[in-house]
């Protein structure tokens, strides 16, 4: 622990700022450029924002979050006592992000990461019509729906769960492909796929029935095609208290009623 250099990253909310002041005298904090690891104060949204910033840096460091937000599923509980000991005992979990390649109606191309999920959502009152392929093979010629999402295990308890998608264990190497309010085929509940597979979604009648693609908090509108796969060139490391580990929390979510 004495050789590890820690940075402190604090959400701009008043609660997080006040907590940051309490932690300042407890350790010798360094800047992000000097740090080996980071403590993040805020909620799940701020943690996702921080992880995305890590993906854009040459040095992707482990992060230990403490919840000063609402749900805090990706965070440890907030308390300032025994901070050094908690950091020493924290368990590391690897999180593999998605990479979505997007083509728009106008011909523009984008490549964006997503840690929780990639969502395709209708932009107007008209339903979306989507063609779904897996590893280049068309699996569904037309899905009429409000949208569809591809979730990682880490994100399976977020939007995916709200859309009645499955909860995936953290170490399962699977992705959830979940429809959002499917109209036809009405009974299709989605699919669970090995994370080595590439999922392609083509928007049918894209100009008449516009669709946006969202990777966590980043949105691209008027898309014509989206390809999603695990980004094996980048991996994130999250640190959790042993009694508050992410894999345990994901497992326990299956028993919440």
Q: Total domain count for the chain?
A: 2
Q: Which one is catalytic: 3, 33, 44, 222?
A: 44
Residues 141, 53: one domain? no
Contact status, residue 44 vs residue 71, Cβ threshold 8 Å? yes
Q: Which domain holds residue 166?
A: 98-230
CATH number at residue 144: 2.60.200.30
Give the pLDDT confidence of 141-189 residue by residue, as tens digits: 999 999 999 999 999 999 999 999 999 988 899 999 999 999 999 889 9
Give the pLDDT confidence of 61-105 residue by residue, as tens digits: 999 999 998 888 899 999 888 999 999 999 999 899 999 999 999
Residues 20, 89: one domain? yes
Q: How far apart are CA 148 and CA 182, in angstroms?
A: 9
Q: Show the tokens assigned to 39.
A: 């403590």
Residues 198, 117: one domain? yes
67 is in an annotated binding site: no
CATH number at residue 59: 3.40.50.10330
218 is in an annotated binding site: yes
Residues 181, 57: one domain? no
Residues 17, 50: one domain? yes
Let me know if 241 is a catalytic residue.
Answer: no
Residues 66, 153: one domain? no
Residues 162, 248: one domain? no
85 is in an annotated binding site: no
Residues 102, 213: one domain? yes
**DSSP H stretches of helix in the chain:** 14-23, 44-55, 83-89, 159-162, 246-252
Quick check: pTM over 0.95? no
- The DSSP annotation for 202-241 comes to EEETTTTS-EEEEETTEEE-SEEEEEEEE-TT--EEEEE-
**Mean pLDDT on 221-234:** 95
């Amino acid at each position: 622990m004495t050789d590890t250099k820690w940075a402190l990253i604090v959400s701009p909310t008043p609660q997080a700022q006040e907590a940051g002041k309490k932690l300042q005298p407890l350790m010798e904090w360094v800047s992000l450029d000097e740090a080996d690891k980071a403590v993040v104060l805020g909620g799940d949204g701020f943690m996702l924002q921080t992880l995305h910033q890590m993906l854009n840096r040459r040095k992707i460091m482990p992060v230990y979050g403490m919840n000063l937000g609402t749900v805090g599923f990706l965070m440890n509980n907030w308390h300032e006592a025994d901070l050094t000991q908690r950091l020493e005992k924290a368990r590391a979990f690897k999180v593999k992000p998605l990479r979505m390649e997007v083509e728009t109606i106008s011909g523009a191309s984008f490549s964006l990461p997503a840690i929780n999920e990639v969502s395709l959502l209708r932009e107007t009152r008209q339903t979306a019509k989507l063609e779904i392929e897996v590893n280049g093979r068309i699996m569904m010629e037309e899905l009429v729906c409000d949208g569809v999402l591809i979730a990682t295990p880490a994100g399976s308890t977020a939007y995916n769960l709200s859309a009645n998608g499955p909860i995936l264990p953290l170490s399962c190497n699977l992705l959830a492909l979940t429809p959002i309010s499917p109209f036809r085929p009405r009974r299709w509940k989605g699919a669970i796929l090995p994370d080595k597979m590439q999922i392609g979604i083509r928007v049918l009648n894209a100009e008449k029935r516009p669709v946006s693609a969202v990777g966590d908090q980043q949105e691209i509108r008027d898309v014509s095609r989206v390809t999603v796969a695990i980004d094996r060139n980048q991996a994130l490391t999250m640190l959790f208290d042993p009694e508050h580990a992410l894999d345990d929390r994901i497992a326990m979510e299956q028993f919440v009623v």
